[in-house]
C-alpha cells in the first residue's frame, strides 16, 4: 500500500518556493527576475492553498498574473499604462477583503501591493530596495498561518535582496 503524506507535499511546495525566490533576486535582469518569481509564486500559492490560507494563496495567484503582465510591459503597449499597478493593487485589496479570515487577511494584499510598485520599475536597484517592504508585511501573516516555508521565504527574500544590493548596487 502506498503512503501519501499531504502535509509533506504541502511543505515541499513551500520549500521549492523558498529556493526559487532566493535565486530570483540574484539575477540582474528584470525579465529574468520576474520569470523566476512567477515560478516561485506558483509554488507558494499552491503551498498556501493546501494550508487553507486562501488570502495568501489568492494574493500569490494574482502575483503570478501581475508578474506575467509586468514581464511584458516594455514589449506590449497596453501593458505600459501607468494605471496598471493601481488596477492590480485594487484587485489585491478586493480579494484580501473577499477571502477575509481575520485582520491578518489584509497583510498579503498590502505586501503584494508594495511589491507591485517595486516591480513596476525598470530599474533593478529600485526593484530590490522597494521589495524589502513586502517581507515585513508577510512575516506576521506567515506566523499566524503557521507556514514555516513562508517565514523562511521572507527571511530568504530579505537576505537575498541584501546580498544582491551588495553585489550589484554598491557605489
How far apart CA 78 and CA 118 sit, in angstroms, is 19
Determine contact, residues 156/22, Cβ cutoff 8 Å: yes
Determine contact, residues 69/79, Cβ cutoff 8 Å: yes
61 backbone dihedrals φ, ψ, rounded to 5°: -65, -45
How far apart CA 126 and CA 101 sit, in angstroms, is 33
pLDDT tens digits in sequence order for the chain, 171 residues long = 567 788 889 999 999 998 998 888 788 888 998 899 999 999 999 999 999 999 889 999 999 999 999 899 889 988 888 999 999 999 989 988 898 888 888 999 899 899 899 888 888 888 888 889 999 999 999 999 898 988 988 998 888 888 888 988 886
> Given this model, what pLDDT does residue 171 score?
66
Among 159, 131, 149, residue whose Cα is nearest residue 30: 131
How far apart CA 46 and CA 58 sit, in angstroms, is 10
How far apart CA 94 and CA 8 sit, in angstroms, is 32
How far apart CA 114 and CA 137 sit, in angstroms, is 9
Amino acid at each position: 500500500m502506498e503512503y501519501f503524506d499531504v502535509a509533506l507535499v504541502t511543505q515541499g511546495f513551500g520549500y521549492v518556493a523558498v529556493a526559487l525566490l532566493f535565486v530570483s533576486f540574484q539575477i540582474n535582469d528584470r525579465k529574468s527576475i520576474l520569470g523566476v518569481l512567477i515560478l516561485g509564486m506558483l509554488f507558494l500559492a499552491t503551498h498556501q492553498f493546501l494550508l487553507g490560507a486562501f488570502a495568501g494563496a489568492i494574493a500569490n495567484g494574482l502575483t503570478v498574473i501581475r508578474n506575467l503582465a509586468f514581464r511584458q510591459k516594455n514589449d506590449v503597449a497596453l501593458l505600459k499604462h501607468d494605471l496598471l499597478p493601481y488596477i492590480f493593487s485594487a484587485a489585491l485589496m478586493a480579494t484580501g477583503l473577499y477571502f477575509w479570515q481575520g485582520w491578518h487577511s489584509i497583510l498579503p494584499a498590502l505586501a503584494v501591493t508594495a511589491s507591485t510598485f517595486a516591480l513596476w520599475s525598470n530599474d533593478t536597484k529600485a526593484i530590490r530596495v522597494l521589495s524589502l517592504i513586502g517581507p515585513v508585511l508577510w512575516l506576521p501573516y506567515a506566523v499566524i498561518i503557521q507556514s514555516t516555508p513562508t517565514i523562511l521565504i521572507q527571511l530568504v527574500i530579505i537576505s537575498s535582496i541584501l546580498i544582491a544590493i551588495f553585489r550589484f548596487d554598491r557605489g
